[in-house]
């Protein structure tokens, strides 16, 4: 398929950042389309970043399918895994040195501490912690507030100990501080650190950076000026604002898209195979059907 991109006439830089852990669904299509439309309207560049840090769940097959499905939908990008660009590599699995550097800066600044808490806390850490806003189980998938078991009494700036395996690292949030930001779609959004979210993981004991760390490192390194993503990541935005502040990175603008829910009011997940772009394409739906307001019925 021809891959003609729109001309870039401004400094706006947007991104789409799928995790190749399954086939993309209608919700992804709508969010990524919004990101693309906003970049195009601003005369800005679109960056495609493959968020394949989770080696257990990421598969090449899904990465290829994500690019293919989004191209089929009509989305084009100036930079990405398949086309390269000045801010590459565009696979997170190949950007480890960048993440280690950011982790080291957090360590030296006294913003993070080692944590020995068990595996159970880790489940949500490499993948983006999507909140389940579609049911009454609010925060179902979000990283739980850390009880503070390993949190040292004071900030400690460490230079000597650099352990990246076998121990978790957490960011100490400023308890009680209001984290307030302007969302281009939702308006003012407020969270309280330590109440709405707690000390979150920046590095996992299996040697992998968390989604939060990798995301801010990449958005800064790729000079992203506006982040467009689903409303289930609003609390991640609050966490990322704290990381940006600690690292001296400028915040991008934020735009959180409303979530697509199925007929039971549940947020779509990659397990909803019947609503995957693959399946819908096979059933003969067009990009227009998929982007239209009416939700296709799950079969
Ligand atoms: N890789 C993340 C996801 O699939 C995207 C997170 C983001 O846009 O920051 O949910």
Evaluate: CB of 168 within 6 angstroms of ligand 1: no
My answer on whether 106 and 177 are in the same domain is yes
- Taking the centre of ligand 1 as the mean of its atom positions, its distance from the CA of residue 164, in whole angstroms, is 24
Answer whether residue 54 shows pLDDT above 90. yes
Residues 269-280 pLDDT 10s: 666 677 899 999
In a domain, 77, yes or no: yes
Instruction: Say if residue 84 is exposed, middle or buried (CB neighbours under 10 Å; 0-12, 13-18, 19+).
Output: exposed
pTM of the predicted model as reported, rounded to 2 decimal places: 0.91
My answer on whether 106 and 200 are in the same domain is yes
- Taking the centre of ligand 1 as the mean of its atom positions, its distance from the CA of residue 254, in whole angstroms, is 13
Q: What is the per-residue pLDDT for 294?
A: 58
My answer on whether 47 and 116 are in the same domain is no
Answer whether residue 133 shows pLDDT above 60. no
Q: What is the per-residue pLDDT for 279?
A: 93
Mutate to test the pocket of ligand 1, among 34, 219, 230 (most ligand atoms within 8 A of CB): 230
- Taking the centre of ligand 1 as the mean of its atom positions, its distance from the CA of residue 160, in whole angstroms, is 33
In a domain, 161, yes or no: yes
d(CA 188, CA 73): 31
My answer on whether 156 and 55 are in the same domain is no
Range of the domain at 127: 96-182+194-214
What secondary structure letter does DSSP report for 167?
Answer: S
**Which residues are paired to 84 by β-bridges?**
80
CATH number at residue 23: 3.40.50.620
Answer whether residue 72 shows pLDDT above 90. yes
Cβ neighbors of 222 (< 8 A, separation 6 or more) are: 13, 15, 47, 49, 79, 87
The count of domains in the chain is 2
**Which residues are paired to 257 by β-bridges?**
230
My answer on whether 70 and 54 are in the same domain is yes
Evaluate: CB of 58 within 6 angstroms of ligand 1: no
In a domain, 45, yes or no: yes
CATH number at residue 161: 3.90.800
Q: How far is CA 165 from CA 24, 25, 101, 209, in A?
A: 32, 34, 15, 11
Evaluate: CB of 44 within 6 angstroms of ligand 1: no
My answer on whether 112 and 175 are in the same domain is yes
My answer on whether 153 and 80 are in the same domain is no
My answer on whether 100 and 206 are in the same domain is yes
d(CA 212, CA 292): 32
Helix (H, G, I), strand (E, B) or coil at 287: helix
Q: What is the per-residue pLDDT for 263?
A: 75
My answer on whether 209 and 100 are in the same domain is yes
My answer on whether 89 and 104 are in the same domain is no
The pLDDT confidence band at residue 158, using thresholds 50, 70 and 90, is low
My answer on whether 88 and 109 are in the same domain is no
Q: What is the per-residue pLDDT for 63?
A: 98
d(CA 49, CA 135): 30
My answer on whether 143 and 49 are in the same domain is no
Evaluate: CB of 128 within 6 angstroms of ligand 1: yes
Share of the chain above pLDDT 90, in %: 75
Cβ neighbors of 42 (< 8 A, separation 6 or more) are: 10, 12, 14, 226
Residues 179-216 pLDDT 10s: 999 999 999 999 999 999 999 999 999 999 999 999 99
Answer whether residue 120 shows pLDDT above 90. no
In a domain, 123, yes or no: yes
In a domain, 229, yes or no: no
Answer whether residue 154 shows pLDDT above 80. no
- Taking the centre of ligand 1 as the mean of its atom positions, its distance from the CA of residue 49, in whole angstroms, is 10
Q: How far is CA 104 from CA 113, 165, 265, in A?
A: 12, 14, 42
Evaluate: CB of 215 within 6 angstroms of ligand 1: yes
């Amino acid at each position: 398929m021809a891959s003609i991109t729109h001309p870039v006439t401004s400094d706006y830089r947007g991104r789409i950042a799928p995790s190749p852990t399954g086939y993309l669904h209608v919700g992804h299509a709508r969010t990524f389309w919004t990101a693309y439309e906003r970049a195009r309207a601003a005369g800005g560049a679109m960056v495609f970043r493959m968020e394949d840090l989770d080696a257990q769940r990421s598969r090449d097959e899904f990465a290829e399918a994500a690019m293919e499905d989004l191209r089929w939908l009509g989305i084009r990008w100036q930079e990405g895994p398949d086309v390269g660009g000045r801010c590459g590599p565009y696979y997170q699995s190949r950007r480890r040195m960048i993440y280690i550097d950011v982790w080291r800066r957090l360590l030296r600044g006294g913003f993070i501490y080692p944590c020995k808490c068990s595996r159970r806390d880790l489940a949500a850490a490499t993948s983006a912690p999507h909140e389940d806003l579609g049911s009454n189980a609010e925060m179902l998938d979000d990283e739980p507030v850390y009880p503070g078991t390993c949190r040292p009494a004071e900030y400690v700036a460490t230079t000597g100990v650099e352990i990246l395996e076998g121990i978790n690292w957490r960011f100490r949030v400023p308890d009680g501080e209001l984290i307030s930001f302007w969302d281009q779609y939702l308006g003012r959004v407020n969270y309280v650190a330590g109440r709405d979210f707690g000390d979150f993981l920046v590095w996992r004991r299996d040697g992998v950076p968390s989604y939060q760390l990798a995301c801010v490192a990449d958005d800064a390194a790729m000079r992203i000026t506006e982040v467009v993503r689903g409303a289930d990541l609003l609390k991640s935005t609050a966490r990322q604002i704290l990381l940006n502040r600690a690292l001296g990175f400028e915040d991008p603008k934020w735009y959180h898209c409303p979530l697509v829910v199925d007929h039971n009011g549940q947020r779509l997940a990659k397990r909803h195979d019947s609503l995957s772009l693959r399946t819908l394409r096979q059933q003969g739906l067009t990009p227009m059907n998929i982007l239209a307001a009416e939700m296709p019925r799950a079969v």
